[in-house]
Amino acid sequence: MTWKPRLADGTAPVLVVLVVLLVALAFAGPAYSEPAGYLALLKRAAPLVILAIGQYFVVVSGGFDLSVGSLVTAEVVIAARLISGDDGNTWWVIAVLLGFGVLVGLVNGLITTKLLVPSFIVTLGMLLVLDGAVFLWTGGAPRGALSPSFRVFGRGAVDVPVLGAVPWSVLILLAVLVGAVLFMRGGTGRTLIAVGDNENAVRLAGGRVHRLRLLAFVLSGVLAALAAILLAGFAGVSAQVGQGLEFRAITAVVLGGVLLGGGRGSVVAAAAGALSLEALFSLLNLVGVSGALESAVQGVIIIAAVAYAAHGAGLRRAFKRRAAPALP
């Protein structure tokens, strides 16, 4: 039997879009005439791609995580306050940040699964809680400073044979993507998709639906913490550093063809959607389009992608009805 690519998960269309955008960047700006320009694009996009991978786990299992943008902001503010410019504090603070990401994911997941509160409401509430806590703690002006050893993950690079200097953020992104792909190819990852498609069937088959959804939220929280570490190193400390990132992550996942409501989608497509979004914004900037239109562009992408998915689903249902044998 010959293997055929699955087009239903949306991987092929978003890859075509990504290739077109990368080619357009080569014509729009001289910086992209060499591989270094594209490495710089990957470096900028790495936090968003990692955030989108975390969002993918939640969306494909049938939920939403609107708290990741505020979590990123909280992580950056906490890091600056605890490190206070001291290199000796870097590693234990990184452990604290990852632990805080796990904690937020656990709270989101437990309230969603145990109290049966819709994930949209739970994570919206968490967004507000984190925003309020950050403002209360900082007064709108974060204190402290990040250490040089902390910022190296977002700004530094390592020499790789043939490729030359490759940013640490790109290497971390590749490691996360490979890990996510391997996870989704395993039994737990496939069951996670099945939960989003038909949780009753998974439950009847002996699957632990609540544990799987809880795992999805924890993974989202951990990857949001990792994205915050890279973003802080790249952009520095700000009380607005994560503002709007939750919507960008959802836009990237939708652009990647992941079905809102769960049950269908590829983690590679979600990552490609995030990279496409970053490439699109870079292209718009190069041709002189105002950055104020980014929100409008994201809105158009979400509406168009969801409409396309709904239309495709309707066509598939109609085809199945026509192909079904008539009852005697």
C-alpha distance from residue 36 to each of 93, 164, 167, 286 (Å) = 31, 9, 10, 17
User: What pLDDT score does 5 carry?
Assistant: 37
In this predicted model, which residue has the larger pLDDT, 294 or 109?
109
Burial 288-314 (b: 16+ CB within 10 A, else e): eeeeeebeeebeebbeebeeebeeeee
| pTM to 2 decimal places | 0.90
Domain ranges in the chain are: 11-323
User: What pLDDT score does 309 carry?
Assistant: 65
pLDDT at position 7 over 70: no
Nearest-CA neighbor of 281 among 248, 236, 242, 232?
248
pLDDT band at 322 (very low <50, low <70, confident <90, very high): low
pLDDT band at 186 (very low <50, low <70, confident <90, very high): very high
In this predicted model, which residue has the larger pLDDT, 319 or 72?
72
* pLDDT single digits (tens) 18-54: 999 999 998 887 888 888 888 889 999 999 999 999 9
User: What pLDDT score does 1 carry?
Assistant: 32
pLDDT at position 276 over 80: yes
Q: What is the mean pLDDT of the chain?
A: 87
Question: Stretch 201-206: mean pLDDT, rounded?
Answer: 88
> How far is it, in rounded angstroms, from Cα 7 to Cα 16?
12
In this predicted model, which residue has the larger pLDDT, 166 or 320?
166
Question: Stretch 155-184: mean pLDDT, rounded?
Answer: 90
- Cα atoms in the Cβ-side hemisphere of radius 13 Å centred on 84: 2
Q: What percent of the chain has pLDDT over 70?
A: 89
Output phi, psi for 166, to 5 deg: -110, 125
The DSSP 8-state label assigned to residue 32 in this structure reads: G
Question: Stretch 98-106: mean pLDDT, rounded?
Answer: 97
Q: Are 193 and 279 in contact (CB under 8 A)?
A: no
Q: Kindly report which listed range (190-194, 257-261, 316-320) carries the lowest average pLDDT score.
A: 316-320
CATH code of 11-323, in short, is 1.10.3470
pLDDT band at 213 (very low <50, low <70, confident <90, very high): very high
User: What pLDDT score does 192 carry?
Assistant: 94
pLDDT at position 308 over 90: no
